[in-house]
Amino acid sequence: MDDDLRARVDFLREALAYHQYQYHVLDRPEIADAEYDKLFDELLQIEIEYPEAAGENSPTARVGAAPLAEFEKVRHRRPMLSLDKCTTIEALEQWVERCGTRLATDQPIALTCEPKIDGVAVALQYRRGQLVLAATRGDGDEGENILANVKTVGAIPMQLLGSGHPELMEVRGEIYIGLEDFKAFNERALARGDRPLVNPRNGAAGSLRQLDSRVTATRPLTMFCYSLGWAEGGWAPQTQVEVLERFSSWGLRTNPMVELIQDTTKLGQYLAKLSDQRQHLGYEIDGAVIKVNDLNQQRLLGSVTRKPRWAIAFKFPAEEATSVLEEVVFQVGRTGAVTPVARLQPTFVGGVTVTQATLHNMDEVKRLDLHIGDRVWIRRAGDVIPQVANVILNARPDDATPVRAPTHCPVCSAKIVRANDEVVARCSASRDQCPAQLKEGLRHFVSRLALDVEGLGDKLIEQLVTEKLVTNAADLFTLSRASLVGLERMGEKSADNLLAALERSRKTTLPRFVYALGIREVGEATALALARHFFTIEALMEANLEHLEAVPDVGPVVALSIQQFFALDDHKDLVRALQEAGVTWPEVEREDAQAPLAGETWVLTGSLERFNRSKAKALLVSLGAQVAGSVSKKTAVVVAGTDAGSKLVKAQELGIRVISEQQLVNLFEENNIAL
């Protein structure tokens, strides 16, 4: 490729980047779509004829790349923290006051205020202005590399505009789908006979989780950049406002409703204005984010556990609307719990059309005095499942009929029972006898925190149970290519992918395996505690109540649930069948009996200044301790940080030893633990 052609390529890339910025960021297009397409097609043709001209960050990369096998993990250099929340001006003013106290200043603290976008948090890395990495928030410490998908988002520059870019920096922001784009996308999807997106936030999250970025490229994603994660080499901003101004000059999209407030009395005015404009913004928000503007003050304030002290989210009240109750259906969960669900006349609430809402249990139905035909208040807050908040009694029609609880399971017809001390009514059949319980149990078994079987979704589980190909979780590992290919939407490649995923899931861990069994009251944290205490599944299955209650975080209710689960031969047979099917895990490491804190149960409460609670817990575990989430007679020591609450009170009532954070630090130093 000669110099003239190289110059033409550079010109086309710069022109396309400029027009992308004008269109997606400034909303001020300077050329028609046809003219843009002409420039794009010319560049694409050159790159086809001269492959050496193509680059990873060429505008042509926005159409998407070949599918990935999986996302690689990315460790965040600085954790992506969640925000503390408040719902009143008084609480917000108290937060400002606490910031002033911690900064030892009586001078007004400058604050930035911005809409809290209801989207998906991501982190972008730019090296000398070139986009080199994009990661999801994940658990805050570790996310997934979604660079291929992010490159398809027109509002995100692959090459920053202007100059003065740092050697390396991380830009944080929120990817979302605008309401008009969401509506238009769903209309096109329905016209094609495709499945529409559920809501804008789920649509954005699902789009970024596509292994095939060509699918992501079809989704109308955009982004607001709201903070600097970190930077090295050539740029040391002093304020949040400076960060956002520089972002804008480099072509990164920032929210035009960000305001700098020097006087805290104006916070209420900003929030009132934002609330009034909420329905006209063109995107979903659930409140506002208020940050200390001075970055040095942010560093001084630091963070507590998983939340920064220098920022807070002000949450707007839940959005409400009224609808008519058309029907109440009863769904059966994996533990046999029978849950009433309200079917409603379609009603637009909080940016989405709601057709059903949760009723929790029959006690809630009785509390509401719910009748079919009632006009009811529906409340929806963010992504929370809509709920029936109240009944408008004076609007009840004459022919309204009370909601009656079923006496038999709506799926298998077994009798519905309710223990005296339980709110929940349950199907009396076992999981193997009730198809609804079996389906929900299988969904739980293959979920991400359990055996994590990719590609085994609800519709496929439905078919496997209906066709009687699977009668329990162990049957999943006996599936063959021939049995799968005959199912709806299951070709040979899909069948091979599922079998490969099942093969990978055979190698797991004991905590995941215990959690996957779906024992009532046993979540992932309890499963981990059980594995560390009993070391083998055989020991756990044979444990009596006394031994179970000796486990941190396991009280009488949980212990009884575990014992009752393994008292059934069907459940023991299932464990053995899974082991015979090749489900294995490495031996659980036993604690060193000589470890300083071996056999002791510790509890952390309050805010720690020196390190976050996760690190403190890890360090205690390294010394042999078990760290529980609640105080009981089995607790040896409670570490009380600032603002310690009910756990500290209970420890004092039980006469349990309480130590300060400094004493904990001294303990670590005495045992040569690096902090």
Q: How far is CA 283 from the centre of its chain?
A: 20
CA dist list (Å): 329 to 349, 356, 371, 409, 412? 21, 10, 13, 11, 15
Question: What are the residue ranges of helices labelled H in 278-357?
Answer: 295-301
Token representation of residue 129: 């202005």
- Distance in angstroms (rounded) separating the CA atoms of residues 596 and 219: 55
Token representation of residue 442: 């299988």
Q: How crowded is residue 477: how many other Cβ atoms within 10 Å of its Cβ?
A: 18
Which residues on neighbouring strands pair with residue 639, listed in sequence order?
A: 604, 659
Which residues on neighbouring strands pair with residue 289, listed in sequence order?
A: 114, 313
**Taking phi first (over 0 means left), then psi (-120 to 50 degrees means alpha), and beta for anything else, what does residue 495 get?**
alpha
Pairing type for strands 637-640 and 657-660 reads parallel
Pairing type for strands 120-127 and 130-136 reads antiparallel
Closest CA to 506 of 474, 463, 465, 482: 474
CB 301 within 8 Å of CB 103:
yes
Eight-class DSSP state of 21: I
* Backbone dihedral angles phi then psi of residue 179, each to the nearest 5 degrees: -65, -40
Report the amino acid identity of residue 238: Q
- Distance in angstroms (rounded) separating the CA atoms of residues 492 and 482: 9
Pairing type for strands 319-332 and 285-292 reads unpaired
Q: How far is CA 607 from the centre of its chain?
A: 24
CB 290 within 8 Å of CB 268:
no
Which residues on neighbouring strands pair with residue 353, listed in sequence order?
A: 348
Q: Which of 38, 73, 85, 116 is catalytic?
A: 116
Q: Is 116 a catalytic residue?
A: yes
CB 162 within 8 Å of CB 249:
yes
Closest CA to 455 of 406, 490, 483: 490
Report the amino acid identity of residue 377: W
Eight-class DSSP state of 408: B
In the block, which residue shows the tokens 């086809």? 48
Q: Supply the residues annotated as catalytic.
A: 116
